[in-house]
């Protein structure tokens, strides 16, 4: 399976079909236009799904044996590249020289240390004074799994309260955006965005670190990618064609003060079992190993239930409000949201009005049946200007 730099969401969905998935994959160091509009997050989920399939999974590098170390270090600075490196079984070069996976992962230590310490600028692969991408990922069973920006000390470590995630977005915005754009973000609801990220990271911590039997995954990751995006009106058809019609309208409707729109895009990615399988396994007291055991309608209903008050697969009675609160916060932000989990790809534009404060998404595209994915990806786009 060879991934092109020009990959789109539709291409990724095509690659997810069983006949397209192979035992090896090649991942580019970067994707066209910075992988914006959720492409990079969708590609990370493709890597997770590929790696969790049966058999050994080989990551084939675009380099020879003399350059593999620098190539791996660069590849790990994208969410898709990091997912491929963490989740694969083996690594080799263009001329099929095998690299010990443990040796490959050692080349990621400086970046992993930066994520652990919250040195946001050092987690990006962007060059220049202002990074356009910031990554923060917890890697299962790593020595530095519990990132300081996400977790407080203790045994076991606990996810920080929501104001800490507001601080992450504030610091990221300071690095990535101009002062005027940052003021606009604060006006549009910095606290609300922090609440969204908190709830989604908390949900990933509670529901994506263990399998459906309760055993912790040996390989896995969870975390977020933050992107600063500038879109020109002239680019919509030339560069970003093929997007869902609802998202195109979201862009057009927010481009009201000229021909440029600044967006902040945040994707929360995990390698867990997905929302419906987790919830239905808890609800019915039997493990749902394969989504083919339930209908699409049952899967959709179960996913929607996850956004209702007091619905949780945890034994803690205080749990269960998180995703409901996240929905309210996304409405405050007038956000566009895409959710990919299981066989579902859903999207919604929030208007900020009370009637849109409920999660009531529509299919990303109306036609076609989607292959099942592993993990869950939320991509949230909010207009800054």
Phi and psi (nearest 5°) for 170?
Answer: -65, -45
3-state SS string for 184-215? HHHHHHHHHHHHHHHHHHHHHHHHCCECCCCC
Q: Which residues contact 107 (CB under 8 A, 6 or more apart)?
A: 69, 72, 73, 76
- Say how far apart CA 253 and CA 234 lie, in whole Å: 15
Name the residue among 376, 365, 361, 333 with its Cα closest to residue 203. Answer: 376
Structural contact between residues 256 and 262, judged by C-beta atoms closer than 8 angstroms = no
- Residues facing 228 on adjacent strands: 264
- Residue 196 inside a domain? The answer is yes
- What residues make up the domain containing 189? 9-383
| Tens digits of pLDDT across the chain (385 residues) | 888 888 888 888 888 886 667 888 888 888 876 667 788 999 999 999 999 988 899 999 988 888 999 999 999 999 999 999 999 999 999 888 999 999 999 999 999 999 999 999 888 866 666 778 899 999 999 999 999 999 997 778 999 988 899 889 888 888 886 666 566 565 556 777 888 899 899 989 988 999 988 899 999 999 999 988 777 766 655 555 555 566 767 776 776 666 777 788 899 999 999 988 988 888 888 888 888 888 999 999 988 888 775 445 455 444 434 567 778 778 888 888 899 999 999 988 887 777 667 788 888 876 677 889 999 999 998 887 6
- Give the three-class secondary structure for 183: helix
- Residue 25 inside a domain? The answer is yes
Q: Residue 177 to residues 126, 262, 300, 340: CA-CA distances in angstroms? A: 14, 9, 37, 28
- Residue 209 inside a domain? The answer is yes
- Residue 3 inside a domain? The answer is no
**pLDDT value at position 321?**
41
Backbone torsion region of residue 258, taken as left when φ is above 0, otherwise alpha when ψ lies between -120 and 50, otherwise beta = left
Beta strand extents in the chain (DSSP E only)? 24-25, 58-60, 90-92, 98-99, 133-139, 151-152, 158-159, 221-232, 260-270, 336-342, 344-349, 362-363, 373-383
- Residue 1 inside a domain? The answer is no
- Residue 327 inside a domain? The answer is yes
- Residue 189 inside a domain? The answer is yes
- Residue 122 inside a domain? The answer is yes
Tokens coding 118: 């919250």
- Say how far apart CA 29 and CA 62 lie, in whole Å: 9
**pLDDT value at position 45?**
95
Q: Residue 297 to residues 43, 149, 323, 345: CA-CA distances in angstroms? A: 26, 38, 20, 13
**How many structural domains are present in the chain?**
1
């Amino acid at each position: 399976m060879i991934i092109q730099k020009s990959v789109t969401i539709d291409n990724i969905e095509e690659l997810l079909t069983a006949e397209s998935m192979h035992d090896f994959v090649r991942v580019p160091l970067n994707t066209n236009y910075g992988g914006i509009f959720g492409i990079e997050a969708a590609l990370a989920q493709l890597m997770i799904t590929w790696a969790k399939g049966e058999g050994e999974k080989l990551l084939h590098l675009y380099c020879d044996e003399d350059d593999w170390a620098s190539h791996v270090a660069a590849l790990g600075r994208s969410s898709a590249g990091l997912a491929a490196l963490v989740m694969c079984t083996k690594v080799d070069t263009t001329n099929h020289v095998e690299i010990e996976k443990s040796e490959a992962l050692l080349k990621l230590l400086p970046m992993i240390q930066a994520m652990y310490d919250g040195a946001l600028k050092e987690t990006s692969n962007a060059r220049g004074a202002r990074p356009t991408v910031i990554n923060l990922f917890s890697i299962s069973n790593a020595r530095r799994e519990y990132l300081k920006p996400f977790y407080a000390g203790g045994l076991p470590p606990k996810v920080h309260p929501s104001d800490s995630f507001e601080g992450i977005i504030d610091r990221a915005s300071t690095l990535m955006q101009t002062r005027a754009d940052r003021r606009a973000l604060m006006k549009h609801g910095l606290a609300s965005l922090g609440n969204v990220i908190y709830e989604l990271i908390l949900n990933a911590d509670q529901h994506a670190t263990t399998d459906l039997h309760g055993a912790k995954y040996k390989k896995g990751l969870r975390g977020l990618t933050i992107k600063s995006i500038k879109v020109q009106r002239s680019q919509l058809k030339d560069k970003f064609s093929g997007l869902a019609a609802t998202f195109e309208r979201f862009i057009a409707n927010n481009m009201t003060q000229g021909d440029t729109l600044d967006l902040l895009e945040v994707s929360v990615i995990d390698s867990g079992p997905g929302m419906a399988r987790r919830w239905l396994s808890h609800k019915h007291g039997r493990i749902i190993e394969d989504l083919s055991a339930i209908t699409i309608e049952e899967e959709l209903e179960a996913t929607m239930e996850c956004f209702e008050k007091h619905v949780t697969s945890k034994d803690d009675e205080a749990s269960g409000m998180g995703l409901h609160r996240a929905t309210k916060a996304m409405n405050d932000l007038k956000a566009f949201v895409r959710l990919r989990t299981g066989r579902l790809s859903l999207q919604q534009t929030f208007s900020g009005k009370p009637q849109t404060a409920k999660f009531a998404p529509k299919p990303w595209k109306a036609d076609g049946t989607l292959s099942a994915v592993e993990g869950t990806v939320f991509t949230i786009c909010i207009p800054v200007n």
